Structure 1
Amino acid sequence: MLYTPSFAISREPGFGFPIREGMPVSLKCDVDANPKALPIWQKDDSSPPVQQTPDGFLNFTEIRREHSGWYKCIARHRLGKFSSIGYFLNVRYDMEVTQEPDFDIGELSSTGRQVEVALGGAVQLACPPGTSGCWTRVEAGTGRLEPMGASQELRLDKVLYQEAGEYRCVSPSRDLTRRLDSLRNALSVQLIVTGISKGSCKSPLELSLINY
């Protein structure tokens, strides 16, 4: 059966783990399509800074600050050219001078919801339909946005107390003005982890009330 490509982007270390200059990092793109289509990595709509492996990996032996940017993979298919959603790779470094806009992310207005999940439970967050956003987590101490993946849906299984906090669905954009608008109008979810796990999980459907 003929079908168009779908993409799955993964990272090592996993999403949510801070990437610091000098550490090894791998990005992987898997493409599911019929007929088979090969992934092609791009950074900021041009060639990636390291050579891609035949099986879809970008391997950074010692990642550098200039490797920060928007990454995506494309695939050429019988039905046309297709692209994954963009993923922003943020590389931190000593004496970092942030290029984030000079404001407190907590002061921005946003469409907010509060979701409770039991310790050890599961939750699925979904960006509003019709948007091109991806999920980020707001770091409590700095207000910086830490990318949580390249999908419009974020699923957390076996939730831990330390995963509580604010999550935002932000549209990727390299244009500062558009990014500010996206941050101001971002869907914000305050995840609260409660109680002691009893082995039962809330249904992701229940917790997808944020999806409107």
Structure 2
Amino acid sequence: MKKKYFYEFIIILNMILFLSIVESCWFDKKKPNIVYMPDMYYSEAYEPYSDPYSNYNNKKEKNIKIPLFSKEKTSSLSPVEGTISRNNSFPNFKNIKNKGLNYSKNIIQNPLINNHYEKKEIIIKKGKKLYQISCSICHGKNGDGQGDLVKNEKIFGIPNYKDRDLTVGSIYYVITYGKNNMNSYASQLNEIDRWRVSEYVMFLKNK
């Protein structure tokens, strides 16, 4: 009788172990059958463009209902009406490329000054630093077209700013879209910095 009970105990124990193993195994890792601490495994803190709905099926878990989310599959909402892109701080100039260089020559006031973004002295100070990093190697520290590359005969035909008909708008246009042998510097300088450099170039021209 003792052996019979012993064997029954072993069988029951093996069944428990087997069921535990089967229960813990799950092929779909995105939807595990058992999670030890679901509130930590599935955080309710949303990440941009993530699915706002948890994959963990638990009756006790609260069901998140956010009908405003785009197709209910992303936690990133569309920007509100009137939002301006960080790469387009001055929407009045967003079509300057289509209007062309001649149009940009009519822009004689720096929008940073018009919009009270910075004082002119600050713009020139910051523009000088940016100019020395990105522009002086070709155009020269004084804007005379005698940068180090020109002096070493690596490039030719760099003009003196004083000899050119320039406005802050035309300078911005060329920095943004390039002209002749000069490529666009839009990837090196953001929109605000391009206006700063443009103001500093005008400072050198009128110096």
Q: Give TM class, smaller chain.
A: under 0.3
For the pair shown, the structure with the greater C-alpha radius of gyration is 2
TM-score between the two structures when normalised by the length of structure 1? 0.21
Higher relative contact order (CA 8 A, sep 6+): 1
